[in-house]
Structure 1
Amino acid sequence: MTGENLLGVPPTLLNPDGVEEALAASANPGVSPGGPELEALARQFPTSSLAWALLSDRAFEAGEILPSYAYARVGYHRGLDALRKGGWRGHGPVPWSHEPNRGVLRSLYALRRGAEAIGETDEVVRLTEFLNGADPTAAAAIEKPSSAASERL
């Protein structure tokens, strides 16, 4: 797959939600924020998919599968709200290369990861199709370790 838009649907490009800027202003370069900081971030930006995706990642890394799944579910729904507000109509590209889209894509990825961990096979298939339809490069970009903080976001 080449990643080109064969549907002719314009890509959805979300507006920044402030989380990236808050992370850049408060964190040490290259260091992810910890527990209380992430929780404060989610309270400050409750509509941000990125804040919920980061909470999901932290919980998953700690072996807390159900909380991780729950955080990802919130991020997923916040992401659907943001996509619809951004003009998305249920299909079409949501490019990873546009940094404000990354929270939604990370939430999709985290929800798929959580669904897989609890054995919810049908949801894994549906979320894989959704993620690949949004941007076929997103999952690989999320999985790729990076030393640059902006790439982790």
Structure 2
Amino acid sequence: MSDQPISMSRSGPPETVLPPVDVAITHKLKQALAATPHERRDAIAAVVAQHPTCLHAWAALGRASTPGIDAYMAFRVGYHRGLDQLRGSGWRGSGFVRWQHESNHGFLECLEGLAVNARIIGEESEAVRCQQFLIQCDPRGRG
């Protein structure tokens, strides 16, 4: 947990920005995304296996997975890893996690993918909670 205090201001709730993804990991992920469609998911999964804290990789794995339970699993793990990282960055369960910061995209994409795939597998209440949380994180959306 971060020792940094969360300050409130007249501008509203605090905002959390996750640290940027390491350049070397970003490069590996870009290479995996450039793989042939037949090899892409396995290539992304290899990046996730080597760098399981990389939220962008979890989001990419979810997007490369079959919609439904396979994508749900990847997005759910990425979402929970993201909650851990948010807490480590000083987030205390509320406040903005905005799309305008590229380093937040992995978490937000996992949350968004979890909402979509929860609905696909019939977890409607989870889908609604995730959608509401996504709006709370950034009411402006992707912009």
- Please show how residues 64-75 of structure 1 align to structure 2 within 5 Å: 65-75=68-78
- Please show how residues 38-77 of structure 1 align to structure 2 within 5 Å: 38-60=44-66, 63=67, 65-77=68-80
Amino acid at match of 2:52: P
Amino acid at match of 1:90: G
1-structure distance, mates of 2:41, 2:21: 20
Check conservation: 1:11, 1:92, Cα contact below 8 A: yes
Measured on the aligned residues, the alpha-carbon RMSD in Å equals 2.5
1-structure distance, mates of 2:128, 2:96: 18
- Please show how residues 30-109 of structure 1 align to structure 2 within 5 Å: 34-60=40-66, 63=67, 65-109=68-112
2-structure distance, mates of 1:6, 1:93: 14
Q: How many residues align?
A: 131
Give the match's secondary structure for 2:70.
helix
Is residue 114 of structure 1 aligned with residue 117 of structure 2? yes
2-structure distance, mates of 1:81, 1:27: 25
Measured after TM superposition, the shift of residue 9 of structure 1 is 2.3
Measured after TM superposition, the shift of residue 6 of structure 1 is 7.4
Q: What is the TM-score with the length of structure 2 in the denominator? A: 0.79
- The residue aligned with 2:18 is 14
Give the match's secondary structure for 1:34.
helix
Check conservation: 2:58, 2:77, Cα contact below 8 A: yes
1-structure distance, mates of 2:63, 2:10: 32
Q: What is the TM-score with the length of structure 1 in the denominator? A: 0.75
Identical-residue share of aligned pairs (%): 40
Instruction: Name the larger-Rg structure.
Output: 2
1-structure distance, mates of 2:10, 2:118: 29
1-structure distance, mates of 2:33, 2:64: 17
Q: Cα gap change, 1:54/1:6 in structure 2, threshold over 3 Å: closer, same or farther?
A: farther
- The residue aligned with 1:150 is none
Unaligned runs of 5+ residues in structure 2 are 1-8
Measured after TM superposition, the shift of residue 52 of structure 1 is 1.1
Amino acid at match of 1:41: V
